[in-house]
Amino acid sequence: MERIQDLVYTHVQGGQFRWVTVSTLMLALGTILHLVSPSVAGVTPNWTIATYCVAILLTRPSLSQTLGIGLVAALINVLTSKSAFPYGNLLSEPGGALTAALVTRAMLSMKFRKIGGFDLTPVVSGFLATVVSGGIFVTILWQVLGLPNNVYMYGMWPLVLIIGALNGAITPILYIPAQRLFSKRGMLPNADQLTSDHSRLTILPERQAKISIEHVNYYHPKATTPSLENINLDVNEGDFLVVTGPAGCGKSTLCMAMVGAVP
């Protein structure tokens, strides 16, 4: 690229870190629900798994990012779990999160994942992630505590499957309003909306100055007219500038552009 005025940078709200924002909010919700949710006959949904499944479905993070989500969920459970061996979560939750990510990727390529417009991905993701995570956890518990085999096979595993079925039901219930909320906030762009990556470009200014702005146009999110239009400005050593104008003319946007705060 020879002309800098031909360079277009698009920044989607949340950018490459939207998975952090969405997963943090969802895990916070899961923690609250975990603390206040009553159990029926000793059974309660695993809200942590359900909420990080929703976050993974919404943001589709990479596997390394998914592992990070699982580790954060594990630390939360270590601090809030009433289990005899809460540290088992350090293996079970990353396993559940990775399962959710792999199931989501597999389901997206299936043509028949929807029945009457209802997407089965949250159901399958919530169920399988819970079964894998719960299976890892009860296996660790069985080994660490030296529990009898019949307790492991006929007591623990049926409980894992029951909670898996509950999570298969509640994950889509959480997913639908979360998807609407984050979409309304602009956190879930369409597939063709991506933040530009110019990391491989070496951008050389046409003129040398302490600050050099060349052919800058800036549109606020969803705006149809630019806040800055074809701005060219050089600030040299010893210059003293006053940026003035009426409210809304772009003064703050110009200053933020100079320090890299926008976009």
Per-residue pLDDT tens over the stretch 134-193? 999 999 999 999 999 999 999 999 999 999 999 999 999 999 999 888 877 766 655 555
pLDDT of residue 14: 58
pLDDT at 73: 96
Last residue of a domain, one of 120, 151, 184: 184
Please indicate, yes or no, whether residues 155 and 241 belong to a single structural domain of this protein.
Answer: no
Judge if 47 and 160 occupy the same domain: yes
Q: Which domain holds residue 130?
A: 15-184
pLDDT for 12: 65
Tell me phi and psi for residue 229, to 5 degrees.
Answer: -135, 115
Which stretches of the chain score pLDDT less than 50?
none
Same domain, 117 and 210: no
Q: So what's the pLDDT on residue 13?
A: 61
Q: What is the pTM of this model?
A: 0.71
Q: Are residues 42 and 163 in the same domain?
A: yes
CATH number, domain at 23?
1.10.1760.20
